[in-house]
Amino acid sequence: MSNADDLDAVFKALANPARRRLLDAMKDGPKTTGQLCEAEPTLDRCTVMQHLKALEAADLILVRREGRERWNHLNAEPIKAVHDRWLSPYTRGAVSKLAELTARLEG
């Protein structure tokens, strides 16, 4: 899979608000699938599992099994890749324009 395909999978996974909420739930540390189901009470377990499968396919989570438990870990690397490719260049331009504006207003 190419880098563009990888980013497409990340964007597709992040497009769903339930998936973003699941990632937010893992932000402070890994969660079991049961804990994630509790964090999303409007979704049944099967739906949560489908969302986790999509996040895993996009490499946004890493899964580790311990006995009967499935631990889901946030993998921030794909999000960093999106930031580096898409957000950082725009942010640099905005910050430089703000600095110019500040200099003009102060000068």
Cβ atoms of 58 and 19 closer than 8 Å: no
Does residue 72 belong to any structural domain of this protein? yes
Does residue 104 belong to any structural domain of this protein? no
Does residue 22 belong to any structural domain of this protein? yes
CATH number at residue 19: 1.10.10.10
Give the chain's domain count: 1
Cα angle 97-99-102, degrees, rounded to a multiple of 5: 110
Does residue 96 belong to any structural domain of this protein? no
- pTM given for the model: 0.79
Residue 102 banded pLDDT, cuts 50, 70, 90: confident
The model's pLDDT over 60-74, given as tens digits with 9 standing for 90+, comes to 999 999 999 999 999
Q: Is pLDDT above 70 for 53? A: yes
In what helix (H) or strand (E) does residue 3 lie, and over which residues does it extend?
Answer: helix 3-14
| Domain housing 42 | 3-76
Q: What is the pLDDT of residue 96?
A: 78
Does residue 20 belong to any structural domain of this protein? yes
State mean pLDDT over 28-42. Answer: 97
State mean pLDDT over 1-15. Answer: 83
